[in-house]
Structure formats: structure tokens, C-alpha cells
């Protein structure tokens, strides 16, 4: 008698176990990896902090902007790395009716601030200049210049563009 009952009991247990397996399939999960590698040389960025503004000038009057009012650029990059700074400078500012005003940049018109506005050293902005990023990866350079409006210059706004390029 016992031998006949056992297969039935085994079948019932198997059915219950099968139901347990099925209910486990109501949820499932999977895991993906996430990775990143921090490398040492940060990319360089350059931001204009201040334009070079000569204000109102009169014909025949030579005007030079003091260092603290000169153009300034904030450069960020890898801390303490050596960089080369160079400018593309205009020879004149363009105004109304095709008029121009000559602009010049002297050998000491490049400004390396450390920090602005209290301390700076000068360099020649007409050529490439070697500098070092500070310990935080910042570098602040500036430039000033001189305009010489000739007599008879037409009144109006005269503008030009200064471009700074920085490279490791």
C-alpha cells in the first residue's frame, strides 16, 4: 500500500515546486558596469573677462589704456603645466563710412596677472609668450594698447578684434 501512495505524493510535491519556480519569474534583474578614467591633462579653455575699451577719444589725441582697464582673458587648463600664449592683433579699428583708427601694441603691453588687479608682469604681445598655469589650473592674461585717431576722424564707434590662443 505504501508503495502505491508515494508516487502520488511525489507528483503533488512536484506540482507545487513547479509553481514556485514560475512565481520567481515575476521579477528579474541585470547589472551593467560603469567606468571612467580620469586623466591628467585638462583641456584648455579661454574666456574673455574684459574688453579693451578706449572710451571717448578725440582726433589727434593719442590714448593708451592703463593695465587695469585693459582686455583680460581667463585661461583654464592643467595645473602647473607650461603653455604658450599668442595674440592675433588688429592694426586698426574700423568705424563708420570706412573710417579707421590706427591701434598699436608695444613690447610691454602684454600683461600676466598674478593676481588681478594687484600684480602683473609684462610681455611682448606681438610674439608668442611662454607661461605656466597656476596650481589651480588658471592663468589670467591681459593686453593694453594705444590708439592714435588722426585729425579729421569721423565721429562714431570704432571696433576691432583681438584673438588669444593658448596651447600646451
Interacting residue ranges for another protein, rule: CB under 8 A? 1, 4-5, 8, 11-12, 15, 18-19, 21-23, 25-43, 76, 78-79, 136-137
Look at the alpha carbons of 71, 77, 79, 80 in this order and tell me if their dihedral is positive or negative.
negative
Query: What whole-number distance in Å separates Cα of residue 69 and Cα of residue 51?
Result: 8
**Which residues partner with 148 through β-bridges?**
none
Return the C-alpha cell found at 112: 600676466
**Cβ nearer to another protein, comparing 29 with 119:** 29
Nearer to another protein, 77 or 95 (CB): 77
Shortest CB 83 distance to another protein, Å: 15
For another protein, which is the closer residue by CB, 6 or 97? 6
Of 18 and 152, nearer to another protein (C-beta) is: 18
CB 104, CB 117: distance < 8 Å = no
**Backbone dihedral region of 2: left (phi > 0), alpha (psi from -120 to 50 degrees) or beta?**
alpha
Residue 11 or 108 having the CB closest to another protein? 11
Cβ at position 42, least distance to another protein in Å: 4
- Quote the CA–CA distance of 54 and 158 in Å, as a whole number: 10
Cell numbers representing residue 88 in the block: 592675433
N-term to C-term CA, the chain? 92
CB of 77 to another protein, least distance (A): 9
- Smallest gap, in angstroms, from Cβ of residue 46 to another protein? 15
Place of cell 589670467: 140
- For the CB of residue 114, give the shortest distance to another protein in the complex, in Å: 19
Amino acid at each position: 500500500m505504501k508503495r502505491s501512495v508515494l508516487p502520488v505524493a511525489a507528483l503533488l510535491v512536484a506540482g507545487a515546486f513547479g509553481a514556485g519556480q514560475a512565481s520567481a519569474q515575476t521579477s528579474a534583474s541585470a547589472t551593467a558596469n560603469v567606468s571612467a578614467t580620469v586623466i591628467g591633462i585638462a583641456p584648455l579653455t579661454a574666456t574673455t573677462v574684459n574688453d579693451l575699451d578706449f572710451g571717448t577719444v578725440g582726433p589727434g589725441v593719442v590714448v593708451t589704456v592703463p593695465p587695469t582697464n585693459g582686455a583680460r582673458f581667463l585661461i583654464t587648463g592643467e595645473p602647473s603645466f607650461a603653455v604658450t600664449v599668442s595674440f592675433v592683433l588688429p592694426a586698426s579699428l574700423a568705424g563708420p563710412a570706412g573710417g579707421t583708427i590706427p591701434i598699436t601694441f608695444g613690447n610691454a603691453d602684454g600683461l600676466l596677472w598674478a593676481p588681478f588687479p594687484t600684480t602683473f608682469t609684462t610681455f611682448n604681445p606681438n610674439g608668442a609668450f611662454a607661461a605656466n598655469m597656476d596650481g589651480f589650473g588658471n592663468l589670467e592674461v591681459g593686453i593694453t594698447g594705444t590708439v592714435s585717431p588722426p585729425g579729421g576722424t569721423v565721429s562714431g564707434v570704432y571696433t576691432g578684434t583681438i584673438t588669444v590662443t593658448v596651447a600646451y
